[in-house]
A and B are shown apart, each in its own frame.
Chain A
Amino acid sequence: MAKKQYSFYPGCSSQSGASSSNYLTSTNSMVKLLDVALNEIPDWNCCGASIGYAGGGELPRIALSARNLALSEQHNPGQEVVATCAACWLATREAKERLDHSATLLAETNEALKEAGLTFKNEAPPARHMVEVLIEDIGYETLKSGVKKPLDGIKFAGYVGCQTNRPFGIAGESFENPMYLDRMVESMGGEAITSYDQKVTCCGGALAFSEPEKSQKQIHDIIESAYDHGADMIVTPCPLCQANVEIYQGEVNKRYGKKFNIPVTYYSQLITVAYGGSSKDAGLDGQVIRATKLEDIANK
């Protein structure tokens, strides 16, 4: 049995054939290499993400997260909930925070959950992001000690984005200049561009889809700064940041007359490769813009 057991909330975009399926592929490889077990919450549902407010209001949105937490309490008792998606993590933490502070909301949420035969007991601590498991429960030094193929010679722009950073963030890190992603890159033997100045810039979120003409400037700035700082690729902990910054590069090029073509990867892909996993283990076949320098190390 693996050393560490967690109750896992993978989220919609991680499913097969969905936009961050390669994030889950690489996460599964990574946790195997780190001897961590992720026990999926049975029958989990969507968290509502940030844009869910428009159709859902407050209580139905909280009910979504409460259902997942109640299922976790029931099926994975005593285990902390861990999410890999920034929005899943944020919505789950936010819901618990509201329920901790309002007896009315808690009573109404449980009345709604009763319709699904569930009860939220609010026993577990707040949900955690996978990044917290890596840097707090495992630690940079231990992470570094398992590296088999250091990511030598690759320069990474660590793009943290919004929702892994605000409003909760990672303990001990600042909102304006969090360093954990750079430190993770360095632990894997890569070169972190610590002066990358767009690391917490918003990618536009859902508005990248609904208001592209207003939000593509965000994506443009995030990529341009990575180039200006000499990055070979961008690395991020968020599936929406990854998708927006990678897949709209062609659109941004058309709008701004640029020739951007920079890979956007996940920390879990870096760790998988550095720990000796194959390109396929790391989900590198899921890149729209191939991360060839990382593939070269994986294929060595």
Chain B
Amino acid sequence: MSIEKYRNNFLKEVEERVEEGNWVKMCMQCGVCAGSCPLGPHWAHPPQEIFMMIRAGKREEVLTSDSMWMCTSCYQCIVRCPRKLPITHIMHGLAYLAKREGLAPKNQPTAQFGQMFWDNLTKTGRVNELKLSLSMYFKDGFSQGVKNAQAMQGVGMGMMKAKRLNPMEILGGHGIKDKSGFHAMLKKARELEDKRRKLA
């Protein structure tokens, strides 16, 4: 198994396999990030705690937690961190590793939405907002999807009336011209990163 070399050294694993992970050891545990996070009340563990858990080797607890998925990418933690840790990016990187290792919490809505967003944009090269909304509403099956769509009907109608949501996008919608080159580029990028970070 690819993680065997990191056994008992989760910090080393994070440094090598997580985006900006080499910064984790710089955390001085001041907690300014925790106090700055808009989703603060909803984290199981604030960032500085996650960093200490990494140093303590708590791999399973870190990667299975829903904490990283609470990040709204507001960058408040980054600009306030006295040690200049790129906390937002580390959280994104940890979330991505958790997902690739199959450890992210099941049915975590932001993890699901994030994947839908990526699949949506990579298909045509540009985001199709109508299909993205529908895939989120219908993620838990058809009947729940109808309920969700009905509940959000007012929002959708307002957007359509303002011509900021186009029902015709269901037929395809916007996209780039060079889709084959675009897809080949992303495939290669993923291969290279997977190899370097040992993500199988």
Contact = CB atoms under 8 A, between A and B. Distances in A.
Contacts of A175: 79-80
B74 A166 contact: yes
The range of chain B's interface size is 35 or more
A166 B78 contact: yes
Nearest to A50: B73
Nearest to B181: A116
A18 interface: yes
Contacts of A17: 163-166, 168-169, 173
Nearest to B115: A55
Nearest to B174: A15
B196 to A, nearest CB: 7
Given A54-B95, A116-B184, A215-B39, A46 B163 contact: no
The range of chain A's interface size is 35 or more
A247 B187 contact: no
Contacts of B103: none
A131 to B, nearest CB: 17
Interface in B128-162: 129, 133, 136, 154-155, 158-159, 161-162
Nearest to B84: A167
A57 interface: yes
Interface string A57-99: 1111011100100000000000000000000000000000000
A19 B130 CA distance: 10
Interface of A: 12-13, 15-22, 43-46, 48-60, 62-64, 67, 104, 108-109, 111-118, 162-163, 166-167, 169, 175, 201-202, 204-207, 209-211, 214-215, 218, 243, 247-248, 250-251, 285-288
